Amino acid sequence: MTISAIGWPAGWTRQRRSQATIVTASLSLLVALWVAASFIALAPAPIGPNAKFFAEGMVVTVELTIVAGLVGVALGLLAALGKTSRLLPLRWLSGFYIWVIRGTPLLVQIFFVYFALPEIAKSTGSEWLSQMSRMTEFTAAVLALSLNVGAYNAEAFRAGLEAVHKGQFEAARSLGLSKWYTLLDVTFPQAFKVALPPLVNNVVALLKDSSLAYSIGVVELTNVGARVQSSTFQPVPILITTAILYLVMTTLLTQITNGIEHRFDIEGRRA
């Protein structure tokens, strides 16, 4: 098998190369977590003795990003459909959600979900809602991050939906397709291609924003760094290590998202 100039086997299609990029980058992210844990274990104090805690913090950071990212995509799509709906109440509700979330700091949103929302739920007297008063720090962080990234995803989806020419919808309807199938088979695939670049950028930003979960006690990477710093009184090596680990994760996540963009042939690229 011959190898092309850029390193891919000759004859591979763009789709196969992009799929290989996604798989390779995803595996690289998992390997990077293991390598980083092994590497920092060899570092001098105060890093080496606390390598286990840094590794655990990286895992929690990745978990926050993945779960909140998936929920945020679903929320963003629903909000975008609501904002472009012909029903006025849906447009108002979606617009209000986007306006509030995009107009307030993420840190305030995390505090509201963790401290205020359980109190509001208990005051309703509902047994189901009162369960929210017992949610963990991780759950509260996921909920707040999901709501935040969902509002930004909504604008990305809305731009994609509005970029699809109305003639596409009319042509599909003239062929006898229902509104539901027209949305799924005609409108959404085209809108998704337009919305994908900002969506993947939001996910990369979400990984960094997850550091704010530290404020409510989630033991993610930033929290681990703060704890080690408070016990060793050596801020410089701790902060440098934390920054490097974030840089590694965001770099690999960027590679994954680039592979996804190529997979869906954003902007009609050909290679």
DSSP state, 59?
Answer: H
Confidence class for position 264, pLDDT limits 50, 70, 90: low
CATH topology of domain 14-263: MetI-like fold (1.10.3720)
For the chain, the average pLDDT equals 83
Highest mean pLDDT among 91-105, 165-179, 254-268: 91-105
**Does the structure show a pLDDT above 60 at 152?**
yes
Higher pLDDT, 162 or 258: 162
Least confident of 12-26, 56-70, 257-271: 12-26
DSSP state, 136?
Answer: -
Backbone angles phi, psi at 122, to 5 degrees: -65, -35
Whose structure tokens read 């085209």?
Answer: 190
CB atoms within 10 A of CB 57: 24
CB atoms within 10 A of CB 34: 10
**Does the structure show a pLDDT above 50 at 90?**
yes
Model confidence, pTM: 0.83
Kindly report, residue by residue over 13-55, the tens digit of the pLDDT. 555 655 565 566 566 666 766 776 777 777 788 888 898 899 8
User: According to DSSP H, which parts of the chain are helical?
Assistant: 14-41, 51-83, 88-103, 106-111, 117-123, 127-130, 137-163, 166-174, 179-182, 188-209, 221-232, 235-263
Give the 3-state secondary structure of residue 150: helix
